[in-house]
């Protein structure tokens, strides 16, 4: 499978036939290297409803027919656009042909651009037996250590930019709690308030924990 970092918090997971798209914020993302029209999706997963996470989910869903998974209040708003939605709440798991996705807690806030208040989440994803944990936007909290207990995490997609989320220093502790084999940092350098040093984060995490850190540039793909 391939993990592609699209930029900001957006990733795609693909084996060539199936593509899971996460938080596809492309239009208005100054670091994006693709346009939303070029992206394929079998399923779209959203961590929460802020504009830099919903992004282009609706037009991509309309073009591709991909269902969108989001927490129930957010799914309710999106369903009014005439797209197929899956609407679990925290702790709930939705099954797909390619595996499953579970919503887990994240400490953050969220209101959509249209005004729907929704609880932010992280996404624990089983994509064809690889376990990926997208933390969403969050601060550091101790329950991060619970997420991987039943399903040891291969890849943690972790915000490090600070200001709107935890910064790269709190994210060192988060990496210790999550205990993924590999951490891929995200949600940094898109805008001035979230500029940070991902290579310093990599050095710090690899010194303090048993996780490896993979720094991907927007547009870059990692083959698992």
User: Which residues contact Zn ion (rule: CB under 5 A)?
Assistant: 50, 137
Residue 47 CB, shortest distance to Zn ion, in Å, is 8
Q: How far is the CB of 137 from Zn ion (least distance, A)?
A: 4
Work out how close the CB of 50 gets to Zn ion at its nearest, in angstroms, rounded to a whole number: 4
**Whether the Cβ atoms of residue 141 and residue 107 lie closer than 8 Å to each other:** yes
End-to-end CA, the chain:
5
Task: Quote the CA–CA distance of 101 and 20 in Å, as a whole number.
Answer: 10
Q: Distance between alpha carbon 136 and the CA centroid of its chain, in Å?
A: 5
Residue 82 CB, nearest approach to Zn ion (Å):
25
Q: Which is nearer to Zn ion, 137 or 167 (CB)?
A: 137
In whole angstroms, the minimum distance from the beta carbon of 52 to Zn ion comes to 6
Q: Which is nearer to Zn ion, 4 or 48 (CB)?
A: 48
Chain position carrying tokens 């502790």: 173
Instruction: Give whichever of 137 and 154 is closer to Zn ion, judged by the CB atom.
Output: 137
Considering the complex, state which of residue 14 and residue 165 has its C-beta at the smaller distance from Zn ion.
Answer: 165
Which residues have a Cβ under 8 Å from the Cβ of 149 and sit 6 or more positions away? none
Token pair, residue 36, equals 């939303």
- Which residue has the CB atom at the shortest distance from Zn ion? 50
The DSSP H or E segment spanning 11 is: strand 10-14
- Phi, psi (degrees; rounded to nearest 5) at 29: -90, 110
């Amino acid at each position: 499978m391939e993990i592609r970092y699209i930029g900001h918090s957006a990733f795609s997971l693909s084996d060539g036939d199936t593509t899971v798209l996460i938080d596809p914020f492309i239009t208005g993302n100054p670091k994006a290297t693709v346009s939303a029209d070029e992206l394929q999706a079998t399923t779209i997963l959203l961590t929460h409803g802020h504009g830099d996470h919903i992004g282009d989910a609706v037009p991509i869903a309309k073009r591709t027919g991909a269902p969108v998974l989001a927490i129930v209040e957010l799914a309710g708003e999106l369903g009014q656009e005439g797209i197929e939605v899956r609407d679990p709440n925290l702790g709930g798991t939705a099954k797909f042909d390619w595996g499953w996705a579970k919503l887990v807690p994240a400490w953050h806030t969220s209101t959509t651009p249209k005004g729907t208040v929704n609880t932010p989440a992280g996404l624990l994803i089983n994509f064809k037996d690889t376990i990926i944990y997208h933390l969403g936007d969050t601060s550091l909290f101790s329950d991060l250590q619970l997420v991987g207990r039943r399903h040891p995490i291969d890849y943690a997609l972790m915000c490090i930019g600070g200001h709107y989320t935890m910064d790269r220093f709190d994210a060192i502790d988060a990496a210790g709690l999550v205990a993924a084999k590999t951490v891929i940092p995200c949600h940094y350098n898109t805008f001035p308030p979230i500029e940070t040093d991902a290579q310093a984060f990599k050095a710090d995490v690899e010194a303090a924990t048993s996780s490896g850190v993979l720094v991907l540039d927007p547009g870059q793909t990692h083959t698992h």
